[in-house]
Amino acid sequence: TYEILIPEGSYFDYTEQKGWINDYRIRLNDGVNYTAERNGVLYKPFTDTTAFVIGCTDTFKGIAHIKDTIQAFSKTFVVTEIAANAFQSNTSITGIDFGDNCRLKIIGNFAFEQCTNLGGTLAIPVSITALGDACFQKTAITNVVFSKDGNLKTIGSNAFRDCPNLGGEICMPASLEST
């Protein structure tokens, strides 16, 4: 990871260039890191109005409470995605709370893969349109609930592979187009 120091007010000019978000840690010239932390969950602005979840702090333990919006850097960002590999192999996460006003659209590839203590029932929010490849592979979830009125269109390959506690009947939403 590289660190780039950019002029204040120009963050989005840089980050809108393909490849910059994941490859570089960008700081404003006032020394502020463009990452926001809320209850141990880390968020990064993606556009001037949206943000995505990039993981959690090293000291995080418990249920990840995913916010629908975050206030940071004098702006409001709608949280639309959990990034690829965001929580991968994190054994401290035990659950996910998406909240009542969830606006997530994507749970990225390998987002929670090998989170071996992530258990219980996983309720996929209505707003989700895509679950990435292996996003919940090798977790301890026991049940997955999809809303019949959901917007889910795609479930990536191996999304729930090797989940030894997963059982029961899973009813897929009518909106599903590919798995």
Q: Pick the most confident of 12-26, 72-86, 106-120, 144-158.
A: 106-120
> Strand 36-38 and strand 41-45: pairing?
antiparallel
Tokens found for residue 8 = 């204040």
Average pLDDT over residues 8-14: 51
CA–CA separation, 50 and 163 (whole Å): 31
Give CA angle at 147 (118, 37), nearest 5°: 45
The pTM of this model reads 0.81
At residue 1, the pLDDT reads 40
* Residue 161 · residue 131 · CB < 8 Å: no
pLDDT tens digits, 59-71: 999 999 999 999 8
Beta bridge partners of 81: 52, 106
**8-state DSSP, 22:** H
Of residues 13 and 162, more confidently modeled: 162
pLDDT tens digits, 74-116: 789 999 999 999 999 999 999 999 999 999 999 999 999 999 9
CA–CA separation, 139 and 131 (whole Å): 15
Q: Is the pLDDT of residue 18 over 70?
A: no
At residue 14, the pLDDT reads 54
Of residues 157 and 10, more confidently modeled: 157
* Residue 53 · residue 78 · CB < 8 Å: no
